Amino acid sequence: MTSRRILSLAAAVIAGASAFLQGGSLSAADLPRPEYPRPQFERSEWVNLNGQWSYTFDFSRSGMDRELFRSESFDGQITVPFAPQSELSGVGFTDFIPEMWYQRKIEIPAGWDGKRILLHFGAVDYIASVYIDGKIAGRHWGGSSSFAIDITRLVSAGKTHNLVIRVEDDERSGEYAKGKQCGRYAQFGCEYTRTTGIWQTVWMEAVHKDGLKDVYVIPDLDQSRFVFRPEYYAVQQGQKLRIRVMDNGKTVGEKTIPATAQSQAEITVRKVKTWSPEDPFLYDIEYDVLSADGEVIDHVKAYAGMRKVQVIGNRIYLNDEPVYLRLVLDQGFYPDGIWTAPTDEALKHDIELSMAAGFNGARLHQKIFEPRFHYWADRLGYLTWGESASWGANINRIGSARNFLTEWEETVIRDRNHPSIIMWTPFNETWEHPDNRETAREACRFVSDIYDLTKDLDYRPCHDVSGNYHVKTDIFSVHQYEQDTVKFKAWLAPVDGKVRQHDLENREVEYDGQPYLVDEYGGVKWVVGQEFSEISWGYGNAPKTLDEFYSRIEGLTDAILSFDHICGYCYTQLTDVEQEQNGIYNYDRTEKFDMERIRAIFSKVPEGFK
């Protein structure tokens, strides 16, 4: 996305907000991020609550004493879903915000009478307390996971109510996973501008009181079937669930089962079509909850991909063929929105940029990406690893460990139906680097527990820690930013038949023949135009010429490709992010290089892989 396009978008958002303040109303087309936020579980009755809200900062954290939860308005105006640190929010305050409050009116449609009314939040960083007309509706801990609060008891159809959100956030506490949000006043190294408060879409939805809450979909390619495990808000005697699987509008599988907690559906699909990067075919799914009289009381649209992911020996297989992972590190930061993409199109565009550079997927780094990103990855055939924002959490503290565990569980459950996600990576370079046996033991225990939890929640491979040390893992990874291609290749070469490990005493298990990946390398600095700041950087010494740049990244990549024990890599990184100027693209998504030469480097696949 060009700088001109970003500025134009910002102007449009501000203009729309101004019209709202002057007494007008925003149409759906004028709302920021108007698209349906949960494309794998879509209902027709919903209201987007993005747009203009009032807000106030609470630096003294005295808002509860002052009963701000009863406030009908605050002095400031902010455009949701953009965080107050971002330009698109209309605020642009980048210092620490320990606490803030949001407010807006919500009108409950008259047609929602008798239904369960859910208030959804894509993500709020970090602790959110939700009030309706001064009464607590619910709370949530977790800066990146989605949540919903049932507000039925507090609202009435056809009435307008006052909504207030209290947000608490402390990036320096060690209690929260913050990812690459900076723990100092100003960004430095590989830490960037912070995100506080609402940073994904807020929306309301009407659901039948006995409606469908969730469905876990397991593709079973070997038996040409989908397995559906539904969950309901409530059930009544005689209710049923009807599931249809469709190929371009034609029903290719259907089953009706009792709507109970014990019942699951298995639907065989004839002449099955697989999902793959070469052909990302998706089946449309329809769920209908039927009353005892056969009336449809809940209708949900979804989709699913039939694909198989497994680890066999030291290879990762996709649909029974070994796949070489040519990944790029994607941190999901935007110049104008920080953690929030300015538009749905911007999410799609990032994937298209990566594919144009020759990559077949991304390691989504230190950030839990929103469902709309995964939607586009599903549609475009883009392989990803789901990773948490683990940095900042100190799991030697009970509260921090609890926060991490619940947020990671919510994330895996939310995203596990996306075929584009082929692996889970809960941690990156595990935070504390404990220097004694006791703390090392506790850290390893927690990593092991999270691995087990992840495997209980989903069938995908789990990569416990990207780089640094491993405890219990299906994938063995290393990080290496050596810039000299000869030294880099020597470091990767097995010694006495053993592959390179990080050799961290007390903390790393021995390599046991898993798929082996270099999932961080490169990071070569190259600046087009002006440096972002005086502290702009990349790994090693920057090349002096473009030819030297191309030669270096090709040499490093070819070194990885030359080893049979390696089955993939992750190049750092897709775009510059603030002062870290080592991206394939500039921070504003404009090109830095001859993309044909870049694509030629990252499109190479060793013999025997697809």
Reported pTM: 0.94
Fold of 323-602: TIM Barrel (3.20.20)
Using alpha carbons, select from 14, 83, 32 the residue that is nearest to residue 342. 32
**Checking DSSP bridges between strand 116-121 and strand 99-107, what pairing results, if any?**
unpaired
User: How many angstroms separate the Cα of 496 from the Cα of each of 161, 493, 499, 500?
Assistant: 70, 10, 8, 10
State the pLDDT at residue 438: 67
Report residue 325 as tokens: 């992972």
38 backbone φψ class: left, alpha, beta (φ>0; ψ -120 to 50): beta
Burial letters 329-353, b for 16+ CB under 10 A, else e = bbbbbbbbbbbbbbbbebbbbbbeb
The CA-based angle 10-15-16, given to 5 degrees, is: 100
CB 310 within 8 A of CB 343: no
Our CA dihedral for 315, 317, 321, 327, rounded to 10 degrees, sits at -80
Q: Write the CB contacts of 82 (distance below 8 Å, at least 6 apart in sequence).
A: 13, 32, 88, 89, 90, 199, 337, 338, 340
State the pLDDT at residue 501: 78
Count helices and strands (H / E) in the chain.
8, 31
Superfamily of domain 33-207: Galactose-binding domain-like (2.60.120.260)
Using alpha carbons, select from 279, 57, 71 the residue that is nearest to residue 167. 57
Residue 18's H or E segment, with its range, is: helix 3-21
**Checking DSSP bridges between strand 427-428 and strand 465-466, what pairing results, if any?**
parallel
Using alpha carbons, select from 440, 418, 425 the residue that is nearest to residue 474. 425
Burial tier of 42 (Cβ tally within 10 Å: 0-12, 13-18, 19+): middle
First to last CA, the chain: 31
Phi, psi of 186 (to 5 degrees): -110, 150
CB 270 within 8 A of CB 264: no
Fold of 212-304: Immunoglobulin-like (2.60.40)
**DSSP 8-class letter at 377:** H
Rounded-to-integer distance, Cα 434 and Cα 443, Å: 8
State the pLDDT at residue 395: 77
Residue carrying the six token digits 């049923």: 240
Helices (H), 467-537: 485-492
* Strands across the sheet containing 516-522: 421-425, 383-387, 361-364, 325-330, 566-572, 516-522, 476-479
Q: What ranges do the domains of the chain cover?
A: 33-207, 212-304, 323-602
| Same-fold call for 33-207 versus 212-304 | no
Cα 513 off chain centre by: 29
In sequence order, the β-bridge partners of residue 240 are: 258, 290
State the pLDDT at residue 29: 62
User: How many angstroms separate the Cα of 54 from the Cα of each of 89, 106, 300, 313?
Assistant: 11, 13, 33, 56
- SS3 category, 495: strand
Show the low-confidence residues of the chain (pLDDT under 70). Answer: 1-29, 431-438, 503-507
CB 329 within 8 A of CB 365: yes
Q: What sign for the dihedral angle of Cα 254, 255, 256, 261?
A: negative
